[in-house]
Amino acid sequence: MSAAASRRPGRVAALGLLVAAGLNWAASRMTWLDVEAFDDKSGAVSASLTGATWATELTAVALLLAAGCVAGLALRRLGRRVVGTVCALAGAGIAWIPVRTLNQEIDTQRVHSLLSSSVEGGAQTATGTQAGSVTLSEWAEISSVTLHYAGPGLSVAGAAIALVCGIILALRPGQDAATMNRYERKQSRQQRLRDDLNNAPDSGRVMWDALDADIDPTEDTRRD
């Protein structure tokens, strides 16, 4: 099998990491929770939590997977194995957050904490924040929490793709390109010939080998 053919699964897997990154990034921007609360000073309050607020790890993992895609296409064989392993572990780790959100009861205390964390200076009513979001006062009571399934579901899909593609990249990184190997062999041969010129500058064989490798033996000798 040629080097190009052997690398095809790894390249597809690396591009899959980019897809996984996009899914997690999109999930982090979607609304996961709608919250209804009551504040005895401002009355009924409606708020929402995005995936990025509910799980800050989503954005970090999305960036990691995007970087993993670039590294999976650019690095050598061993580097691709390491990148695949890291991305697979990241996918497995991030999957726990949306799975837990979908299958367990929402922690209303955490919801209240997230929505009240940006209240500054002891504000006594719910206040508007960036992007029209709402924060709650410390004494507001959560009335209901509604889960939107699309965001967590998209995150699960992204995590699954990251896990599968990471495993493929780690197990089938493919051979390095022939041009890269030829370049390394040329560099190694040139270094060996320079060492020979230093050790035996008067050797005719070494001089001819150096000329054949595009090395000027007189220049190397003068430099010494």
Q: Which of 161, 176, 191 marks a domain boundary? A: 176
For the stretch 173-191, what's the b/e string if a residue is b when 16 or more beta carbons lie within 10 angstroms of its beta carbon? bbbbeeeeeeeeeeeeeee
Provide the domain count of the chain. 2
Confidence band, pLDDT 50/70/90 cuts, at residue 32: very high
Residues 74 and 61 in one domain: yes
Residues 47 and 153 in one domain: yes
Provide the whole-model pTM: 0.69
Distance of CA 68 to the CA centre of its chain: 5
Residues 109 and 211 in one domain: no
How many whole angstroms separate alpha carbon 151 and alpha carbon 99? 11
Domain that holds residue 215: 180-223
CATH code of residue 63: 1.20.140
In this prediction, residue 44 carries a pLDDT of 83
Residues 146 and 194 in one domain: no
Residues 192 and 168 in one domain: no
Residues 61 and 98 in one domain: yes
Residues 152 and 190 in one domain: no
Q: Which of 160, 176, 192 marks a domain boundary? A: 176
pLDDT top residue among 20 and 140: 20
Q: With 0-12 CB in 10 A as exposed, 13-18 as middle and 19+ as buried, what is 17?
A: buried
Q: Which of 2-16, 62-76, 176-190 has the lowest mean pLDDT?
A: 176-190
Q: What angle do CA 90, 93, 94 make, to 5 degrees?
A: 85
- In 3-state terms the chain splits into helix, strand, coil percentages (rounded to 5) of 65, 10, 20
Residues 9 and 106 in one domain: yes
Residues 15 and 117 in one domain: yes
Residues 166 and 196 in one domain: no
Residues 171 and 187 in one domain: no
